């Protein structure tokens, strides 16, 4: 016969219930509408970083990229 009582909460059932509850809580927070705010990158992040140096030009030439006009 089985000695387990149906009222006991086994480890597996506890983790299953805990996982379901935490997933529900995260979903509730994520779906709550809030005020959207725009991202301001600031001066440092907005500056141009790309420079077409000699090694970049060599990479383009070796890999067959079309030349800039």
Average pLDDT along the chain, 69 residues, taken 10 residues at a time: 64 75 74 79 81 92 84
Q: What is the token pair recorded at 59?
A: 């990479």
Kindly report whether the global pTM for this prediction surpasses the value 0.75.
Answer: no
What pLDDT sits at residue 49? 82
Q: Kindly calculate the radius of gyration of the chain based on its CA atoms and give it in whole angstroms.
A: 29
What CA–CA distance (Å, rounded) separates 63 from 51? 18
What CA–CA distance (Å, rounded) separates 63 from 69? 18
């Amino acid at each position: 016969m089985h000695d387990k009582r149906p009222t006991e909460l086994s480890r597996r059932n506890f983790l299953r219930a805990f996982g379901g509850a935490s997933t529900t809580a995260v979903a509730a927070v994520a779906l709550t509408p809030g005020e959207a705010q725009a991202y301001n990158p600031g001066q440092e992040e907005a500056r141009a970083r790309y420079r077409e140096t000699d090694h970049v030009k060599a990479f383009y030439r070796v890999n067959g990229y079309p030349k800039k006009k």
